Amino acid sequence: MLAAAVVILFVASILLGSYTVTVPDFFTIVWAHLTGGEKIPGASFIVMENKLPRAIVGLLTGLAFGLSGALFQTMLRNPLASPDVIGISHGASASAVVAIVVFGASGATVSAAALLGALAVALLIYLISRGGNLRGSRGNAAGNRLVLAGVGIAAALGAVVNFLMTRADIRTAAEALIWLNGSLNPATWERIGTLLPALCVLLPLAAGLAKPLRLLELGDDTAAGLGVRVGAVRLGLVLTAVALAAVATAAAGPVSFVAFLAGPIARRVTGKPSLPASALTGAVIVLAADYFAYNLAPLLLDGTVLPVGVVTGALGAPFLLWLLATSNRKDA
């Protein structure tokens, strides 16, 4: 069902909207682009340089964010432990903004800066949160410490970004805002060329770690008794999840709450934790939110096109409050 929803939304993003394209015209445009044939004036440019790259980037970033959030939430057994809540997406964004504003970087350099920033923040959060025992029955407490450390670091990074934005000129600040809002407007084939190879490496890594991750849910001691190298597996999970969040942020900016929402929604749909379902749910959220932001919001807001991160943020905020309220009732 989730895979079908992804396909429907992907097709709708390309064929429907403010400029509609028929199915025969779409295949004609793609075939002409691949073979160098005659192009359809206007339509070829809109499809190949706007609609199709936008849909592909939305699909890939949704998969990456959804899978990253599910890895963190399952490993730490804490529904709040997603990259955008614990500060990892903030680390990638802040590093990208520093690269843009301070060093005038662009393209692959900014993507590399985002990846390094996310890894550095993840390491810092781990070092801060390791004050107590991170194993066995105290895993939930360790997860709570990590979440609190991440929230604090995210606030500090937000202050750094705000300071840099006040010091930047208008053009540079506008480019940096792309990262801060989370938008598919700058989707290009160049960004797809960076994102797709990264996911071709990271998705198989996540699939290989899925089985030991399920064993880790039984507790570190039980997993070790079943032959799992707990330390190595946990390190691999953290690096994979951080890299997924970083490359997605590098491609589309910090699209708010996608990583946070995907895992719990997928669990509701499937009835159990599922990494593939979480990844597909992330893609559904991004594609649906972008379709609304790009095609429906202008009809409701007098032509204003919203960044996709605004829509996902509006969905995520009430969901977070609901999650906190239900957690409080369970504790009571």
Tokens of 326: 């239900």
List, in sequence order, every beta strand (DSSP E) within 237-298: none
| Whole-angstrom distance, CA of residue 146 vs CA of residue 138 | 13
Non-local (6+) Cβ contacts of 330 within 8 A are: none
Contact 273, 263 (CB under 8 A): yes
| Whole-angstrom distance, CA of residue 63 vs CA of residue 58 | 9
Q: Is 81 left (phi over 0), alpha (psi -120 to 50) or beta?
A: beta
The amino acid present at 80, given as its one-letter code, is L
Other C-beta atoms within 10 Å of 123: how many?
13
Burial 256-287 (b: 16+ CB within 10 A, else e): bbbbbbbbbbbbebeeebbbbbbbbbbbbbbb
pTM over 0.85: yes
The confidence score (pLDDT) of residue 330 equals: 54
Closest of 79, 109, 285, 82 to residue 182, by C-alpha: 285
| Whole-angstrom distance, CA of residue 295 vs CA of residue 289 | 10
Whose structure tokens read 């084939």? 189
Sequential pLDDT tens for the chain (332 residues) = 999 999 999 999 999 888 888 888 899 989 988 888 888 888 888 888 889 999 999 999 999 999 999 998 888 887 777 888 888 888 888 888 898 888 887 767 877 888 788 888 888 887 887 664 444 434 455 567 777 888 889 889 989 998 998 888 888 888 787 778 888 887 888 889 888 998 999 999 999 988 888 887 777 677 777 777 777 888 888 888 888 988 888 788 888 889 988 988 898 888 888 899 999 999 999 999 999 988 888 888 877 788 888 888 888 778 777 777 776 555 55
